[in-house]
Each structure stands twice: as C-alpha cells, then as structure tokens.
Amino acid sequence: MSIIAEMLSYPFLVRAFVGGIFVSLCASLLGVSLVLKRYSMIGDGLSHVSFGALSIAVALGWSPLAVSIPVVVLAAFFLLRITENGKLKSDAAIAMISASALAIGIIITSLTTGMTTDVSSYMFGSILAMSPWDVRLSLILSVIVLGLFVFCYHKLFAVTFDESFARATGVRVDFYHGMIAILTAVTIVLGMRMMGAMLISSLIIFPALTSMRVFKSFRGVILSSGAVSVICFTIGMVMSYTCSTPAGASVVVVNLICFLLFAAWQAVGRIRG
C-alpha cells in the first residue's frame, strides 16, 4: 500500500494509473465480445494500423490523436467487413494489413524524423505517455463502454452468441458491431501510447481468455474480465515501478501469470470434478 501511495505522489503516475485503469476496463469488456466472436486478431491489426497512422501524424507535425482515431476507426470497420464477408482468408488479410501499416510507418519515420523517442515509445509504450487530455478521453470512453454493457447487455449477448438469431428477432446487429468496432478502435489508440503498439492487443485478449478458463456464464466472464484486467494492470504498474521494468511489458506478464493461475484452477477443477 505504501508503495502505491508513494507512486501516487507523482502526477504523471496518477495519470498513468487512472487512464490505464479506464482503458484496461474498456479493453477487457470489448475483448469478451471480440474473443468470443473470433475477432481477436482485429485488436492486433488495429494496433499496427494505429502505429502507422501515428508515424504519419508525427512526420507531418499533426496531433497524433486527431489523425489516429479516425484512421483506426475506418480500419476497424474495414477489418470487420472482411472478416464477415470471408472473401479473403480473414486471418491472413489481417496479418497482411498489420505488416503493411507497420512497414509504412517505419519507412515514413526513418525518412523524416528518424526513430525519435516519440515513435519508439509508441512501439513499446511509455508510462509518461498519458496526458491530462488522454485521461479525460479515457474517462469518457469508459462511461460509454460501461453504458453499452449495462443497458444493452442482453442485446450484446444475443449478438455475440448467435448473430443469425439476433438478426431474425429484429436486433440491429450491424449497429452493435459498429459500436464495438468504434469503441475498440478508440480504446486501442488511447491504450497504445502507454502499452505500446506491440503489446496493447493483450489487454483485449488476455482478460477474456483468462476468465473463460473458470467461469461458465456470460455474465460471470464479463464481470471477471473487468476485475482481472484492472487488478493485473495495477499489479503490473507497481511491478514496473519497483523493479524499473517497462510498464506495458510488466502488465502483459502479470496477465500471463494470471492466465496460467486460472488455467491451473480449471485443471484442478477437472481432476476433482
């Protein structure tokens, strides 16, 4: 506890904590839907696209968020579309788009500014990245995501579990897909600066997978994902502070440990059951 109190005496760490907790909460809730619909790769694809957009913004001297958010939202819709159409093999298509966006980003950066600290911190994350404006934006994002999950919970369940049935009963499936795509895009752009383009997708995937080891109901998985995500983030931050490890990587490692613990719990349950 005293370590946390000490950490909170630095304003930039307060921002990292508050912004990070909001972002991990959003990522984990959206992640449940994405993982269950087999769209996990979209998170990974979007983070790379976001990196590409960011390098262009930095090169042109524009505001990084103002460029990345619209570009990544567009990419999210595009990725959802190719996943649904199934014309291109979607996993291959996403891998192709990720690599291309990353390559374009790297070329533009090396041609203009060179690999500045700015861009490399976007790759692997920086605890200093959260500005007061980012924290405000992540608060707004969380309110919207939580609102969606509370008030449209049953519709989200129906859309996630069985799209055809939901469509036939008159749920506007495309609207919910669109909402999830936009919110995921914003979550990734916000979280990427702290977690890093290479690591942000773990915030989306890990909590859902971890919770699915143990919980058998959709409600259980959702609640557990939110909790797991926030707890892992906090532990990761403390670890990063005490051991001087990079923040993003620490959070991912804590998530991995948590996943292994839940998997062990599941294994023990099976042996007993």
Binding region for other proteins (CB under 8 A): 36-38, 150-155, 157-158, 161-171, 211-212, 215-221
**Could you give the 3-state DSSP secondary structure of residue 232?**
helix
Encoded tokens for 205: 């995937």
CA atoms within 13 A on the CB side of 186: 20
Nearer Cβ to other proteins, position 32 or 67? 32
Q: Which C-beta is closer to other proteins: that of 50 or that of 225?
A: 225
Rounded least distance, CB 150 to other proteins, Å: 7
Distance of CA 172 to the CA centre of its chain: 24
CB of 161 to other proteins, least distance (A): 6
The residue (of 6 and 91) whose beta carbon lies closer to other proteins is: 91
Question: Are 218 and 161 in contact, with CB atoms under 8 Å apart?
Answer: yes
Residue 221 structure tokens: 């998985």
Least distance in Å: CB of 217 to other proteins?
4
CB of 124 to other proteins, least distance (A): 32
Rounded distance between C-alpha atoms, residue 201 and residue 204, angstroms = 5
Q: Are 68 and 187 in contact, with CB atoms under 8 Å apart?
A: no
Q: How far apart are CA 138 and CA 19, in angstroms?
A: 6
CA quadruple 242, 246, 248, 249: dihedral positive or negative?
negative
Q: Closer to other proteins by CB, 78 or 215: give it.
A: 215
Distance CA 85, CA 75 (A): 15
For the bound state, the minimum distance from the C-beta of residue 169 to other proteins, rounded and expressed in Å, comes to 4
Residue 221's closest CA among 230, 209, 232? Answer: 209
Q: CA angle 112-115-120, nearest 5°?
A: 135
What is d(CA 126, CA 108) in angstroms, rounded to the nearest whole number? 21
Residue with tokens 């007993």: 272
Our CB check for other proteins shows the closer of 214 and 253 to be 214
Do residues 229 and 28 lie in contact, with contact meaning Cβ atoms separated by under 8 Å? yes
Smallest distance, other proteins to C-beta of residue 171, A: 6
CB nearer to other proteins: pick between 72 and 158: 158
Closest approach of Cβ 146 to other proteins, in Å? 13
Give the residue with the Cβ less far from other proteins, 20 or 31.
Answer: 31
Helix, strand, coil percentages, rounded to 5, for the chain: 85, 0, 15
Nearer to other proteins, 17 or 39 (CB): 39
